[in-house]
Amino acid sequence: MAGNRFPELWQQRMERELQTSVDNGLAGAVLHYGDLNGMIYERAFGYQRRYNQTALMPVPEPMRSNTIFDLASLSKIFATLLALHRLVDSKTLTLDDTAARYLPGFDTSEKRDLCLRDFLGHNAGFPGSFHFYDPAQSGAAMYSQDRARTLALLGQVPLINPPRTHTLYSDLDFLTLGAVIEAVTGLRLDHYLATEIYTPLGLQDIGYKLLEPDAVASSHVGSHVNNRAITDFSATERCGNTRDGHVSFPNIRTNTLQGQVHDELSFYSMGQVSGHAGLFSTAHDLGVLCRLLLNGGSLGSYTLCSPQTVALFRQTFNLDQTYALGWELITPATSLIFGLLAPQASK
H and E: helices and strands count for the chain: 12, 10
**CA–CA separation, 228 and 118 (whole Å):** 38
CA dihedral sign of residues 215, 218, 224, 229: negative
User: pLDDT tens across 297-337, in order?
Assistant: 999 999 999 999 999 999 998 888 889 999 998 877 677 77
Which CATH class for the 70-346 domain?
alpha beta
Which of 167, 193, 189, 170 lies closest to 180, judged by CA?
189
Helix axis angle, 82-89 relative to 171-185, nearest 10°? Answer: 40
User: pLDDT tens across 62-94, in order?
Assistant: 999 999 999 999 999 999 999 999 999 999 999
How confident is the model at residue 319, as a pLDDT?
Answer: 84
Helix (H) / strand (E) element for 294: namely helix 283-294
How confident is the model at residue 224, as a pLDDT?
Answer: 35
Q: What is the 3-state secondary structure (H, E, C) of 110-157?
A: CCCCCEHHHHHCCCCCCCCCCCCCCHHHHCHHHCCCCHHHHHHHHHHC
How confident is the model at residue 330, as a pLDDT?
Answer: 80
How confident is the model at residue 25, as a pLDDT?
Answer: 93
CA atoms within 13 A on the CB side of 82: 29
Full pLDDT tens readout for the chain, 347 residues: 444 455 788 888 889 999 999 999 999 999 998 889 999 999 999 999 999 999 999 999 999 999 999 999 999 999 999 999 999 999 999 999 999 999 999 999 999 999 999 999 999 999 999 999 999 999 999 999 999 999 999 999 999 999 999 999 999 999 999 999 999 999 999 999 999 999 999 999 999 999 987 666 544 433 334 679 999 999 999 999 999 999 999 999 999 999 999 999 999 999 999 999 999 999 999 999 999 999 999 999 999 999 999 999 999 988 888 899 999 988 776 777 776 566 555 44
How confident is the model at residue 333, as a pLDDT?
Answer: 67
Q: Where are the domains of the chain?
A: 8-65, 70-346
Sheet containing 279-281: which strands, arranged edge to edge? 69-70, 279-281, 207-208
The string of DSSP codes covering 72-103 is GGGHIIIIIIHHHHHHHHTTSS-TT-BGGGT-
How confident is the model at residue 320, as a pLDDT?
Answer: 85
